[in-house]
Structure 1
């Protein structure tokens, strides 16, 4: 078998292997693929299965901003709280960030909603660099206390929406398209309750 025949025969196998290796070892490539899948309708948040159980005691659950200011979730009763736990190195987090940023831009001036984008690493310098590079305007926080497992078990990304009474109205682990119209309507509905 000559060299050209060998190359023709194994070209597609080599190309497939190269794509798999890129997706495995290049986080931004994996994030880009996931963003494309979000655009075609996959990774929609399922708000119709939202839990409306008893109110969670939010007192003592604290987050810190880059200036060191601490905010206790217990002080935010009467507000809808959007919590997103993420990290700069996490491909699913990177994939959902454009949609999270669009959600934030739509509701950032709504006085009934408070947003927390919690960098699981707590590295404000790295998170700010990431936000600046991507041109996101999301307010970054770090954990200022322990967070109950019913809110965050450690899986990234995790998104939790608490209603005005402190009940978990939405919880999603893994990437999702938070700019989806159904989710925007869900957030709007929570502000009117």
Structure 2
């Protein structure tokens, strides 16, 4: 045996599939999607490239598995909006939840910084779904009977929350608490300005 794991083996308490995804996320976010080869991912996991293909049919499939948690968080959040009555406190909770999701996925944000065009192209077929969920979230954050200004403010507040994805690059010394506080205050200020 060459020291490589068989497909489906557990590596350090993780399944091979999870280990592949974790290594791919790290390499895609540090080197870039385009510059990372599947051979590098397999080597770092300690499996053959054929074993990697057992779990992920292509580099694009692996990328989709890496970014899927972001889509899943957004799906869950937008589904929960159906049962949530709008209020300023509820809007704060929704923005806080969005910030927590963005903070949890900062490595994916780094990947978009390194290789945004390639990553965007690779997830292209999911882009429309993502935009539909984003629009639903904007409409809810804008409040009932929202006018154009409220819609734009809601969209801008969500864009502020997305800054959390880039926070490690923008402010490497900022801890998550600071990032959350500053971005939540900013998003709420845009959503509900005091005049």
TM-score by length of 1: 0.27
> In proportion to residue count, which structure has more strand?
1
TM-score by length of 2: 0.27
> In proportion to residue count, which structure has more helix?
2
